[in-house]
Amino acid sequence: MDDVGEPNLLNDKLNLRQLILILSVFSVLMTLINSFYSMYRVQQQLIITNTIESNRVYAEKMAETTDLFIESAFSQLEYSAALLSQGMSDTKVQQQEVDRLRTQTSFFNSVVIVNSKGVIVSISPENIQLKGVQLKGDRSLQSLNAKVPLITDPFIPPSGNYLTSISYPIFSENKEYLGYIAGTIYLEQKNILNTILGKHSYKDGSYLYVVDRNRTIIYHPDAKRVGEVIDTNEAINAVTKGEKGGKPIVNSRGVDMLAGYAPVALSGWGIVAQRAEALTVATLNEQMWKVFIKSLPIGVITVLIIWVASVFISKPLWQLASILKNYESHTSTGYDLIKVKSWYFEASYLKRSFLNTLNIVSNTINQLHSDSLTDSLTGLLNRRGLDKSQDNLRIQKIPFSVLAVDIDHFKKVNDVFGHDVGDIVLKNVAEHLKLQARELDLVFRSGGEEFLLFLPKTDIYHAKYAAERIRKSIESQDFETVGHVTVSIGVAHWAAEGKPISAVLKEADDALYKAKDNGRNRTELSISS
């Protein structure tokens, strides 16, 4: 005797909505994760913003300091130029002045005087044996040609040092241009830029570098990079335009950096202070990692519970999906579906639906596969069918001949009789080609009024015979409305080795065009075949 009031477990199945409701208790965990992530993002953005601002302020400060150095250097050179305006003819006075200027300050690696003809007339230190050397080249003659106070672009003078120079023109009392005096900064050696900019602390991974107006690095902590031209860095592009500010950038080495930048007004240089973004957020990452480690045990338990529940809930659906996936390869049957224990409503309903539609799906897949390879107008194989047929012939290494067939003056048919009549002609020609083809031959519509025939195991001469038979048969046919239609045919052969099939198709196409050029309604063989 059945117990009264006992629930029917077979019919009273849970539905998916109820299961989701049960799992929603775990949404608290997702809320905590979201809060954790939001806190991290806010702190990360704050650190990044502060770092960019700090680098911007420091870059501006160092730009001002560099401007003061340049202003002081120009003042020193102006004083020397004034003295030399009356002593350019006295080599002793010249040498005393370049020695004084070089030793009085640590501004310059060397000091030179160049006369109006571009000849070095005095240099300090004297162990640089360039006295009497004639300067040549646009870069070396920048100061001479400028005739105004100038900071040159980097260049390599006869001494061989990669340098930039700060020069001041020398004029006589009657304003005659006598030459210039210049202090040089050796960019690849210890110089004043190292002294000014090298005081920046690198303990936190940040650093400064300087570029000239042409985006050439003239100072960098890595001396090997001096002279490198950078045109893909947003900070460099901005600062060489005279802009100042800060932003996240990707440097020329592909590293995410937080950069501040400022221009040096007197020289056109740009100073960039930057730090790798990864280093900036490393401390935050470490702190957040500690919080994560402490939260990990509870998280693992929660995830484990969700995982067990998910496996239990998803198992029927997974079984259904696996059976249907394997059905195409005939490794599973409808009987496998019946064995699936669909213990809740949605899985049970899906199981019944799959069983009811199994045969329909199978038939539909087969039909779709056939349709995908067939031209809808003519019923011939289409381009996809052509590609598949080529692969089969190539893999099996079956030699074949190709007939490239084109309806002559088909555009005239469309223009005179309309596209509906043109479609009828296409279908009639396609039907004619199928009737003329053997059972093993393959017939394609390759596009528009063009057709292809593959004749397996047929040499080119028998293929030409078949082509002529097809051409004459179509020529003799009386088509409805349009009357007689002719075709031109190009023939080529693939010997199952050597050239690719695509090359043979091109040869057949070329032969077809030859037939067209020779008057149409004819067959031409590919010469290379």
Please list the active-site residues: 449
Are 7 and 342 in contact, with CB atoms under 8 Å apart?
no
Report d(CA 224, CA 230) in Å as an integer: 14
Residue 505: closest CA among 420, 446, 431, 435: 446
Report d(CA 45, CA 41) in Å as an integer: 6
8-state DSSP, 348: H
- Is 405 strand, coil or helix? strand
Neighbour tally for 83: CB within 10 Å = 17
Tell me the CA distances in angstroms from 19 to 304, 309, 349, 502, 524, one per residue in order. Answer: 17, 10, 16, 57, 73
Are 166 and 74 in contact, with CB atoms under 8 Å apart?
yes
Are 198 and 224 in contact, with CB atoms under 8 Å apart?
no
| Most distant pair of Cα atoms in the chain: their distance | 134
- The b-or-e profile of 66-75 (16+ CB within 10 A means b, else e) is bbebbeebbe
Residue 356: closest CA among 332, 382, 374, 338: 338
Written as one string, the DSSP assignment of 270-323 is EEEEEEEHHHHTHHHHHHHHHHHHHHHHHHHHHHHHHHHHHHHHHHHHHHHHHH
Report d(CA 493, CA 526) in Å as an integer: 8
Are 374 and 382 in contact, with CB atoms under 8 Å apart?
yes
Residue 274: closest CA among 291, 301, 297, 255: 255
